[in-house]
A and B are shown apart, each in its own frame.
Chain A
């Protein structure tokens, strides 16, 4: 008999037993009888007319079973890949939404766009067949950058999308902002680029599909963060498969970071193909294939202006952004640089007027969609950078200017001018905690020590807030969401008192099997080891929206908490009958139902037994069994945030930036498992550091070739790039989630890029450097110093 391990404890992760012993079950581990292998033939051109495909040589190649192309998709009248959000411009005009065929039709629009699917007996035969496909392309000029794409005369991706602009989106009171700028004592201006990122989860994407003629059912195993959403989008909108005839399974998934939270064309093609060839079809992406087909992240060009009064109080903030969508609209694409960006521009400050314009732009690049943080790191970067620029220009200390503008703890709930209302928070408390933890007082001495070695040392702050726990459905619906964003959980108590939870979120590294088990163990008094969490299978789990947007604990955990409460409520009714006491007198604590003021009690196991062997049971008023389900739709977003402080050392001789210290004090609300939270913060911070210092997806303008298409050219952060991090929580409780939780999956990624770049700029500020674009690579820093050092030397 194991122990209760409840909220606040830090047990080792349940799931790690199988992962660390090589017993995980990933899509590529699955083998089905008679399974075939498929490979996608992808466009080698960024932009081209697809004039024709000659399948004959490929079909004659040994082992090749079928070759499918866009013409076959058209002949079967299949749908286009749907976009889950429909945004509008200020006049209410809907965004331009050109079709996204699962296999290209007429044109290809990015390197990696899918042109054909070749199915063969073995992967080798499929590859050999794919090489024999004769595809006639008429190559067109590509446009890959947003600035270039909106210029007159730029290559046009779609005939009916003038200037490649999908939507000209606005938020905020433009007139109020203009009025505030007119009376400003100082206006800080900043132009910046938010670099394009490639997610690189450890496990490449993969899928297997199978069709059973006997039951007319399809099964798709896929590397997905949200199998139920794939079932809906693919079944209802693309392939016309009734929901009850389609099972989607996302088994163990090796990391997602957003990359796996979209419905991909590969899933639809494979499922469709499985019925056509009457055999299971498997596809596993190579790493290189992932680079040109996994949805990319970020990629903004922004002009920002901050108006301040003579005391450094923010009066208004104006942001104009061009956001790259890539060649087509992905599942959440247009939502990310708009609804998840503009509403974050208030940050932790009392800025009274904010206006944001985002032009969402098509280019000949991989579609861009959510990547850990999704819109919020971009917003935080703009805001936290310009606050530093303003402080420097006005001669105000960077911490002081933040204090002068911060929302005080007492002012919560706080309504921002950009839609959202923060329910709780204490940014000043996080800042104070971080200043101490980072030993900011000792920075001067450390800087002097660096200077003696010929190095420049800098300190950077980021005080930030994010909106997560996606999302309140009604609110999201007003913003253009085409689906709900609630979550569901079923708590099944077995006759022996053990518990199986079916939950609609998906665990792909976050530790849900541990965290959710702790919640159940805590609430029901059941041993931690007697709780299993089931997820990722539409046949086993009632419904769910999956895992993204720091929502699993906030929304899924809330549904789980509610379902558990229903179990307790029913248990009390059963106990009331067995103990012959009024239901109101039954008290439940530590796994025991007792009659208040007496020593009469029934254990949780006894109640479960009675529910399934209802001999002495109130059958007239109560159903047997002990299984409860809850759906939870949040009333608001949650608003985690905090203060991150980065300390860097720059080697001016080579331009190398070394992150030497990193401190984060974050408000994530109630902490269920502090070890897992710490891990999430570490991982998130590293991803943000990756964006700030290393990662950059580079395309060649004109040809549309991805120049950073492998780990040889795309630099992921590594352990030796990083210092030991100091991570702590300073929590205020969320006022509207059942457990006071706020979510922690993305905070690290959202807070860190600005902290790191602010530190780099600080290190170089004595040379007149006012901004450094990401990533701050050695080459870029050296070049900046070449340009910066001359006038300074003359001083």
Chain B
């Protein structure tokens, strides 16, 4: 790890100011990606701006038709939340499948969504549920937020403060874990709303994406059989030593069916 300055601001405006004023500074939430990167000397920011003192960013709020989760809320808290378990059990299940217990107790939803790792779980839940990303500056719809491999709509100095999830009629997540890393080789989040179904896929490509043919088929008939014959085009899907693109494409269909099963159970 190379030396860096460390700041622990008391408020969002201070944090945003530090991020803008210090060139090459980085925000740290749970640090589950950033700290290993620093240790391997793959990143060497001049300063870290740590959000851990901002208590207002932690916790969940029941908005009646929505649940708002503070950006600094750890995965373990979301997984164990009675509110989430009752209203969006698929999201609680997703949180319970991230990493291992140590990662779940340190890693945060805001950190995961801002990082937008192509194999992370939360982007599938956020996009699948059509959530809204609330930042220090504005509100961004999930459909406009994830821009591809580690890219998001966040501007310099913009900080995620919370994520607001609409409550679906039904929702489920199915994840095929990469054998070594246990990131999603393919993870599919399915959510049924009164006005239709959303299907979001993580792990399979360079960034989370929706599958419109599955969405329309499931909107007609919310049953695994409705999508069993839908094949995903392998163009743009990831091939690596663990899985070639055609296997990932196949797994999208399998995991989508299992996510529907999970939503129905």
Chain A residues proximal to chain B, CB less than 8 Å: 124, 127-128, 131, 286, 288, 653-655, 694, 696, 698, 707-708, 711-716, 777-779, 782-783
Between A and B, 22 residue pairs with Cβ closer than 8 Å are A124-B2, A124-B3, A127-B41, A128-B2, A288-B40, A653-B254, A654-B176, A654-B251, A694-B179, A707-B241, A711-B181, A712-B181, A713-B181, A715-B180, A716-B180, A777-B242, A778-B176, A778-B179, A778-B247, A779-B243, A779-B244, A782-B250
Contacts of A124 in B (CB 8 A): 1-3
List B contacts of A778 (CB < 8 A). 176, 179, 243, 247
List the A side residues contacting B181 at CB < 8 Å: 711-713
| Candidates B1, B41, B241, B254; contact of A654 at CB < 8 Å | B254
Q: Would B241 and A698 count as touching, CB distance under 8 A?
A: yes
Cβ-closest chain A residue relative to B181: A712
Q: Which residue of B lies closest to A128 (CB)?
A: B2
CB-CB under 8 A from B179, the residues of chain A are 694, 715, 777-778
Residues of chain A within 8 A of B40, CB atoms compared: 286, 288
- Which residues from chain B contact A707 at a C-beta distance below 8 Å? 241
Please determine whether B2 and A779 come into contact, CB atoms closer than 8 angstroms: no
Q: Output the least CB separation between A455 and chain B (Å).
A: 14
Q: How far is the CB of A143 from chain B (nearest CB, A)?
A: 19
* Residues in chain B near residue A653, CB distance under 8 A: 254
**How many B residues touch A, CB cutoff 8 Å?**
18
* Chain B residues packing against A (C-beta within 8 Å): 1-3, 40-41, 176, 179-181, 183, 241-244, 247, 250-251, 254
Given A698-B241, A707-B241, A713-B180: 11 more A-B contacts, CB < 8 Å: A124-B3, A128-B2, A131-B41, A286-B40, A288-B40, A711-B181, A712-B180, A778-B179, A778-B247, A779-B242, A779-B247
Residues of B contacting A712 with CB < 8 Å? 180-181, 183
**A286-B36 Cα distance, complex, nearest whole Å:** 12
Distance in Å: Cβ of A450 to nearest Cβ of chain B: 18
Is the CB–CB distance between B247 and A783 below 8 Å?
yes
Give CA–CA (A694, B241) in the complex, Å.
Answer: 12
Q: Hey, which chain B residues are within 8 Å of A777, CB to CB? A: 179, 242
The answer, among B180, B183, B247, for a CB contact under 8 Å with A782, is: B247
Closest B residue, CB atoms, query A783: B247
Report the nearest A residue to B179, measured CB to CB. Answer: A715
- Residues of B within 8 Å of A782, CB to CB, are 247, 250
Complex CA gap A698/B240 in Å reads 11
CA distance A714 to B243 in the complex (A): 13
Which residue on B lies nearest to A721, using beta carbons?
A: B179
Bound state CA distance, A288 and B39, in angstroms?
A: 11
- A713: B residues at CB distance < 8 A: 180-181, 241-242
CA distance A653 to B243 in the complex (A): 15
The CA of A696 and the CA of B40, in the complex, are separated in Å by: 23
* A714 lies within 8 A of B180 (CB): yes
Q: Chain A binding site: helix, strand, loop or mixed by DSSP?
A: loop
Enumerate chain A residues within 8 angstroms of B41, measured Cβ to Cβ.
Answer: 127, 131
For residue B176, which residue of chain A has the nearest CB? A654
Residue of B nearest to A130 (CB): B41
Cα distance A655–B179 in the bound complex, in angstroms: 12
Q: How far is the CA of A683 from the CA of B148 in the complex (A)?
A: 42
Smallest Cβ distance from A28 to chain B, in angstroms?
15
Instruction: Give, as a whole number of angstroms, the nearest-CB distance from A540 to chain B.
Output: 36
List residues of chain A with CB within 8 A of the CB of B250: 782
Q: How far is the CA of A698 from the CA of B241 in the complex (A)?
A: 8
Shortest beta-carbon distance from B210 to chain A in Å: 22
Q: Which residues of A contact B242 (CB under 8 A)?
A: 713, 777, 779
- Chain A: CB-nearest residue to B242: A779
Residue of A nearest to B251 (CB): A654
Task: Tell me the complex Cα distance, A715–B242, Å.
Answer: 10
Q: What residues of chain A lie closer than 8 Å to B3, measured between beta carbons?
A: 124
The 6 closest A-B pairs by CB, nearest first: A715-B180, A715-B179, A712-B181, A779-B243, A698-B241, A779-B247
Q: Quick check: A711 and B180 within 8 Å, CB to CB?
A: yes
Which residues from chain A contact B176 at a C-beta distance below 8 Å?
A: 654, 778
Shortest beta-carbon distance from B42 to chain A in Å: 11
**Which residues in A have their C-beta under 8 angstroms from that of B1?**
124
Complex CA distance for A694 and B180, rounded to whole angstroms: 8
**Once bound together, how far apart are the Cα atoms of A711 and B181, in whole Å?**
7
Least CB distance from A673 to B in Å reads 32
A783 to B244, CA, bound (A): 10
CA distance A128 to B40 in the complex (A): 12
CB distance from B118 to the nearest CB of A (A): 13
B20 to chain A, nearest CB (A): 28
CB proximity of A580 to chain B, nearest CB, Å: 70
Chain B, Cβ-Cβ closest to A711: B180
The docked-state distance in angstroms from the alpha carbon of A715 to that of B179 is: 6
Residue in A closest to B186 when the chains form the complex, CB atoms: A654
Q: In the bound complex, how far is the Cα of B242 from the Cα of A714, in angstroms? A: 10
The chain A residue sitting closest to B255, CB to CB, is A654
B170–chain A nearest beta-carbon distance, Å? 22
Q: Is B247 within 8 A of A708, CB to CB? A: no
* Chain A residues with CB below 8 A from B241, complex form: 696, 698, 707-708, 713
For A288, give the chain B residue with the smallest CB separation: B40
The distance in angstroms between the C-alpha atoms of A520 and B250, with both chains bound, is 61
Nearest B residue to A712 by beta-carbon distance?
B181
**Shortest Cβ distance from B37 into chain A, in angstroms?**
12
Which partner residue on chain A sits nearest B244 by CB separation?
A: A779
State in angstroms the CA–CA spacing of A714 and B181 once bound together: 8
Nearest CB on A from B166, distance (A): 31
**CA A589 – CA B254 in complex, angstroms?**
69
- Chain A residues with Cβ below 8 Å from B243 are 778-779
Closest beta carbon of chain B to A696's beta carbon, Å: 8
Whole-angstrom distance between the alpha carbons of A654 and B1 in the complex?
40
Chain B residue at minimum C-beta to C-beta distance from A693: B179
Please, how many angstroms separate the alpha-carbon atoms of A286 and B251 in the complex? 35
Which residues on the B side are within 8 Å of A654 (C-beta)? 176, 251, 254
- How long is the Cα–Cα vector from A712 to B41 in the complex, in angstroms? 17
Residues of chain B contacted by A131 (CB below 8 angstroms): 41
Query: In the assembled complex, which residues on chain B have CB atoms less than 8 Å from the CB atom of A708?
Result: 180, 241
Q: Which residue of A lies closest to B1 (CB)?
A: A124
A150, chain B: closest CB distance, angstroms? 24
A633–B99 CA distance with the chains assembled, in angstroms = 50
Q: How far is the CB of B150 from chain A (nearest CB, A)?
A: 16
Residues of the B chain whose Cβ atoms lie less than 8 Å from the Cβ of A696: 241
- B206: min CB distance to chain A, Å: 17
Q: How far is the CA of A782 from the CA of B243 in the complex (A)?
A: 10
Interfacial chain B residues near A711, Cβ < 8 Å: 180-181
- Interfacial chain A residues near B247, Cβ < 8 Å: 655, 778-779, 782-783
Residues of chain A lying within 8 A (CB to CB) of residue B183:
712
A711 to B242, CA, bound (A): 13
Question: Shortest beta-carbon distance, B176 to chain A, in Å?
Answer: 6
Complex: A783 Cα to B250 Cα, angstroms: 11
Residue of A nearest to B41 (CB): A127
- Please report the C-alpha to C-alpha distance between residue A779 and residue B177 in the assembled complex, in whole angstroms: 12
Q: Considering only CB atoms, which chain A residue lies closest to B254 in the complex? A: A653
Q: How far is the CA of A694 from the CA of B177 in the complex (A)?
A: 13
- In whole angstroms, what is the CA distance A778 to B177 when docked? 11
Complex-state Cα separation, A341 to B136, whole angstroms:
65
A128 vs B176: C-alpha distance when bound (angstroms): 40
Which residues of chain A are near B2, meaning CB under 8 Å?
124, 128
Among A131, A286, A713, the one with the most B-chain Cβ atoms within 10 Å of its Cβ is A713
Which residue of the partner chain A has the closest CB to B3?
Answer: A124
Q: What's the Cα separation between A569 and B179 when bound, in Å? A: 58
Cα distance, A712 to B242, chains bound together (Å)? 11
Q: How far is the CA of A707 from the CA of B250 in the complex (A)?
A: 24
The answer for the CA separation of A30 and B1 in the assembled complex, in Å, is 22
CA distance A783 to B247 in the complex (A): 8
| B251 / chain A contacts, CB cutoff of 8 Å | 654
Nearest chain A residue, comparing its CB with the CB of B243: A779
Q: Tell me, rounded to whole Å, the shortest Cβ–Cβ distance linking A667 to chain B.
A: 33
> Which B residues lie within 8 Å of A127 (CB)?
41
What is the CB-to-nearest-CB distance from B232 to chain A, in angstroms, rounded to a whole number? 15
Complex contacts, B244 vs chain A, CB 8 Å: 779, 783
Kindly state the separation between the CA atoms of A714 and B244 in the bound complex, as whole angstroms: 17
Which residues of chain A have C-beta atoms less than 8 A from B254's C-beta? 653-654
Contacts of A655 in B (CB 8 A): 247
